[in-house]
Amino acid sequence: MTWFGLSAVSATSRHIVQKAVRGAILLVVVLSLLGLPTTSSPALADSLSDRIAAARARQSALRQDIDQQNRLLGNLQSDAAQARSALTKTGNQLEGINVDQAQVRKEIQQATTALAKVQARRQALQEQLGQLDQTLDLLEQEIQQGADELDQRRAALGARLADAYRSQNTSLLEQVLDSGSFTDVVSDASAYLAYGDQDAQMAKDIADDQASLDSLRAVTAATRYRTDQLRRAKEDAAADLRTQKATLADAKARLARLEAKTQAIQKKQMTKARKIAANQRQAKAFIRRQQVAQRRLQRQTAGLLAAAKRAAAKRAASQDTGGGGGGGGGGNGMFMWPTSGVVTQEYGCTGFYLEPPRGSCAHFHSGIDIANGSGTPVRAAGAGVVAFAGWTYGGSRAILIGHSGNFASFYGHLSRSVVRSGQRVSRGQIIGYMGNTGNSTGPHLHFEIQRGTTPVNPRSYT
- Write out pLDDT tens, residues 76-91: 778 888 888 888 888 8
Residue of 135 and 309 predicted with greater confidence: 135
Give the separation between CA 410 and CA 293, rounded to whole angstroms: 14
Q: Residue 178 above 50 pLDDT?
A: yes
Q: Residue 326 above 60 pLDDT?
A: no
Q: Residue 5 above 50 pLDDT?
A: no
> Among 99-113, 325-339, 347-361, 366-380, which is the least confidently predicted range?
325-339
Residue of 355 and 413 predicted with greater confidence: 413
pLDDT of 187: 56
> Residues for the chain: how many in total?
462
Is residue 398 within a helix (H) or strand (E), and if so which, with residue range?
strand 397-403
- pLDDT band of 371, cuts 50, 70, 90: very high
Residue 430 · residue 418 · CB < 8 Å? yes
Closest CA to 390 of 423, 365, 368: 423
> Among 26-35, 220-229, 249-258, which is the least confidently predicted range?
26-35
Q: Residue 460 above 50 pLDDT?
A: yes
- Based on its alpha-carbon atoms, the radius of gyration of the chain, rounded to whole angstroms, reads 49
pLDDT of 247: 87
Q: Using alpha carbons only, what angle is made at residue 114 by residues 108 and 116, rounded to the nearest 5 degrees?
A: 100
The CATH architecture of the domain made up of 281-460 is Distorted Sandwich (2.70)
- pLDDT band of 313, cuts 50, 70, 90: low
**Local structure of residue 97 (DSSP, 8 states):** S
HSE (side-chain half, CA atoms, 13 Å) at 386 = 22
Question: With 0-12 CB in 10 A as exposed, 13-18 as middle and 19+ as buried, what is 8?
Answer: exposed
**Hey, where are the domains in the chain?**
24-260, 281-460
pLDDT of 86: 81
- pLDDT band of 3, cuts 50, 70, 90: very low
Produce one character per residue of 192-211: b if its CB has 16 or more CB atoms within 10 Å, e if not.
bebbeebeebbeebbeebbe
Average pLDDT over residues 366-384: 94
Residue 417 bridge partners (DSSP): 432
**Local structure of residue 134 (DSSP, 8 states):** H
Averaged confidence pLDDT in the chain: 74
Residue 369 bridge partners (DSSP): 345, 446
pLDDT of 166: 63
Q: Residue 202 contacts by C-beta under 8 Å, 6 or more apart in sequence?
A: 40, 42, 45, 153, 156, 157, 160
Residue 90 · residue 254 · CB < 8 Å? no
Highest mean pLDDT among 16-25, 31-40, 320-329, 442-451: 442-451
Query: How far is the CA of 248 from the CAs of 79, 96, 197, 223, 301, in angstroms?
Result: 15, 17, 75, 37, 45
> Among 8-22, 235-249, 321-335, which is the least confidently predicted range?
321-335
